[in-house]
């Protein structure tokens, strides 16, 4: 499961596909314009340049075969690549880790992640120590909830 934070809130997707010419699978959401291709990861595989001389920043990604993908800014300011001209095959679906848990366990995992965000996003091992040590008064979160949260939502970012 991939969580994408944007100005419209948080979007979750469990869909992974192949982007022609990109060496790794990418997360995507079929009904959104804001499918994410990380500039960091793209630059690990390809040469990436940004030109903002004309006031409209354009990122250009040069692939090993010398073809170039341009990521132009939308009206809202998010850079995108029109995949209609580059060919995509976004067809795979990944089973959600949530399928392994009951509804109650998923709610507890979500509550555990919210609390982890609120208390400053400590590392998971430190978060478990905080909870098991009783450092948060009247806390209903358990170690199992924390572990489930990490399995469902992935490692917490920003800690």
Looking at residue 92, what is its pLDDT?
Answer: 38
Last residue of a domain, one of 57, 89, 121: 89
Band the pLDDT of 9: cuts 50, 70, 90: low
Kindly state whether residues 30 and 108 are assigned to the same domain.
no
Confirm whether pTM is higher than 0.85. Answer: no
Compute the chain's Rg from CA coordinates: 19
Return the minimum-mean-pLDDT range out of 7-21, 30-44, 60-74, 102-116. Answer: 30-44
pLDDT in tens, 42-52: 777 777 777 77
Extract the tokens encoding 8.
């419209």
- Residue pLDDT, tens place only, 18-67: 777 677 777 776 665 555 566 666 777 777 777 776 667 777 777 777 77
Number of domains within the chain? 2
Q: Is 52 exposed, middle or buried (CB count within 10 Å of its CB: 0-12, 13-18, 19+)?
A: exposed
Residues 92 and 25 sit within 8 Å (Cβ to Cβ): yes
Q: Are residues 104 and 82 in the same domain?
A: no
Q: Which of 115, 111, 120 is nearest to 152 (CA)?
A: 111
143 — pLDDT class (breaks 50, 70, 90): very high
Domain range for residue 25? Answer: 2-89
In this structure, are 12 and 79 located in the same domain? yes
Which tokens in the block code for residue 27? Answer: 């997360």
Q: Give the pLDDT confidence of 127-138 residue by residue, as tens digits.
A: 999 999 999 999
Query: Helices (H), strands (E): how many in the chain?
Result: 4, 9
pLDDT at residue 28, rounded to an integer: 72
What's the pLDDT at 46?
74
Task: List, in sequence order, every residue forming a beta bridge with 50; answer none if it has no partner.
Answer: 59
Is residue 159 in a domain? no
pLDDT score at 155: 81
Phi, psi for 36 (deg, rounded to 5): -105, 130
Q: Are residues 53 and 101 in the same domain?
A: no
The reply to whether 82 and 102 lie within a common domain is no
Q: What percent of the chain has pLDDT over 70?
A: 64
């Amino acid at each position: 499961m991939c969580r994408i934070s944007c100005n419209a809130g948080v979007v979750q997707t469990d869909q992974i596909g192949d982007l022609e010419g990109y060496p790794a699978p990418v997360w995507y959401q079929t009904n959104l314009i804001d499918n994410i291709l990380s500039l960091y990861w793209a630059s690990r595989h390809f040469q990436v340049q940004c030109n903002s001389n004309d006031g409209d920043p354009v990122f250009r990604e040069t692939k090993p075969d010398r073809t170039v993908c341009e990521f132009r800014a939308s009206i809202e300011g998010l850079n995108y690549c029109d995949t209609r001209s580059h060919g995509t095959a976004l067809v795979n679906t990944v089973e959600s880790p949530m399928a392994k848990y009951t509804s109650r366990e998923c709610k507890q995992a979500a509550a555990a992640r919210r609390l982890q965000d609120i208390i400053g996003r400590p590392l998971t091992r430190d978060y478990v120590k905080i909870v098991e040590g009783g450092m948060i008064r009247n806390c209903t979160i358990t170690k199992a909830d924390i572990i489930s949260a990490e399995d469902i939502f992935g490692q917490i970012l920003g800690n």
